[in-house]
Amino acid sequence: MPSVGSSLKPVKRMPAPKTLPRIAATDFIRDLDISQDELLALLDLTHQLKANPGRFATALAGRYITLLFEKPSLRTRFTFELAIKQLGGDAVLAVGPIADREPLKDVARNFDRWTNAIVARTFSQQTIDDLAHWSSVPVINALSDRFHPCQALADVFTLQERFGDVRGLKLAFVGDGNNVAHSLMLASLRLGMSFSLATPVGYEPDAEIVAQAEALAAVAGGQLVITNNAREAVDGAQAVYTDVWASMGQEHEKEKRLADFAPYQVNAGLFQHAAPEAIFLHCLPAKRGEEVHDDVIESSQSAVFDQAENRLHVQKALLLMLLG
């Protein structure tokens, strides 16, 4: 596969702001909780933070943030902990089911007396919504069954790094119409990209989120295509993305999913239909030999570890805009 090095374009940097941009919403529990202007400001701030990691090193001094994780985590836990600490704050980790011993509304009102924000990685979006309802401090969705908004921020930032202006790019997602697909669809289309999703019959994305995405595409000028044909989705794309076929909590469906998704593996044969400068994306962890083959994820066109690193930088920007 050819290298993408020659296709990189410089990203225009804005001057360092005299004051931090802010997010008007109290919480970040869905992708559309931040406005178009706030999204652009967050991405620009991320570029500045990545270029100057020591900037705002004391911005969260004296702030303590709850990390509430029902699901195991590598990237989300490490990048949020590091982001908080690199901004001068500290994190308190709680692992396991949230409301086994007492009502969720009580848990939320305890944490908001002790800490300045709650970052939650949960099985259910309803848990995130309830935390936000009962908490008086900001709640950040670090993953739920419906959305993965922090991942999508890192993904579109990675695309900016690679291509400069992302307007007009085509992003193809091959696999389950899941939380990652939902957030990526919303984030990319509102930035003027086109988004194609190829998924087996019965695994399509949520109809309500598709309707939101279509409205964003109409405004920003991109195109949304949902198909059952992987080659159609990938054809001419500048980025090809996939995710595991069976997420945590879906283990009982694994054998059926392996059979249903087998034609949707991202391998060299499928990837060759993308644009010559295309990059490969995956939110990780990857199941090599299932949703992706090593000849793609280990190629020079793979940007998966850039994505993983960029979780740190976009989450620093998000924390600053919510709490700074």
Residue positions annotated with a catalytic role = 121, 148, 151, 243, 283, 311
Residues with Cβ < 8 Å from 252, sequence gap 6 or more? Answer: none
* pLDDT tens per residue, range 243-285: 999 886 777 888 999 999 999 999 999 999 999 999 999 999 9
The pLDDT tens digits for 178-223 are 999 999 999 999 999 999 999 999 999 999 999 999 999 999 999 9
pTM, rounded to two decimals: 0.93
Q: Tell me which CATH code domain 151-307 carries.
A: 3.40.50.1370
**What is the predicted pLDDT for the residue at 18?**
55
**C-beta of residue 151 within 8 angstroms of C-beta of residue 179:** no
Note whether 316 and 47 are within 8 A (CB).
Answer: no
What are the two backbone dihedrals, phi and then psi, of residue 125, each rounded to the nearest 5 degrees? -60, -30
Beta strands (DSSP E) in the chain are: 64-69, 90-95, 117-121, 139-143, 170-174, 194-198, 224-227, 239-242, 279-282
Q: What mean pLDDT comes out for the span 107-127?
A: 97
Fold identical between 18-147+310-323 and 151-307?
yes
CATH of 18-147+310-323, one of 3.40.1190.10, 2.60.120.380, 3.40.50.1370, 1.20.210.10: 3.40.50.1370
| Domain boundaries along the sequence of the chain | 18-147+310-323, 151-307
